[in-house]
């Protein structure tokens, strides 16, 4: 079990949710699960972080990560 998520895992989770729930509408709006992960992903890129504590994620992003980990066989978040 892990309470950290790497930027690579976060990117994989976003890609998983983009494939599972493709963008919608003319503006190609991200599904809620992918959108919930986009903000922490962008923050990690801008601050040059390689990982962050799952505790720093808001509830929607944390749920999206937990569901992705369950679906992909990754260890669950503590």
Indicate the pTM of the whole model: 0.81
Rounded CA-CA distance 42/38 in Å is 6
Q: What is the pLDDT of residues 39-76, one digit of tens each?
A: 999 999 999 999 999 999 999 999 999 999 899 887 65
Mean pLDDT of the chain, nearest integer: 85
> What is the pLDDT confidence band of residue 1, given thresholds at 50, 70 and 90?
very low
Task: Give the model's pLDDT for residue 14.
Answer: 93
Q: Where are the beta strands (DSSP E) in 1-78?
A: 4-6, 51-53
State how far the Cα of 25 lies from the Cα of 60, in Å rounded to an integer.
22
Cα-flanking dihedrals φ and ψ of residue 52, to 5°? -150, 160
Say if residues 44 and 7 touch (Cβ distance below 8 Å): yes
Confidence of residue 8 (pLDDT cuts 50, 70, 90): very high
The per-residue pLDDT for 75 is 66
């Amino acid at each position: 079990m892990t309470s950290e998520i790497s930027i690579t895992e976060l990117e994989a989770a976003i890609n998983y949710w983009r494939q599972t729930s493709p963008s919608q509408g003319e503006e190609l709006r991200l599904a809620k699960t992918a959108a919930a992960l986009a903000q922490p992903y962008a923050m990690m890129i801008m601050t040059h972080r390689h990982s962050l504590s799952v505790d720093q994620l808001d509830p929607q992003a944390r749920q999206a990560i937990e569901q992705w980990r369950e679906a992909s066989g990754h260890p669950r978040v503590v």
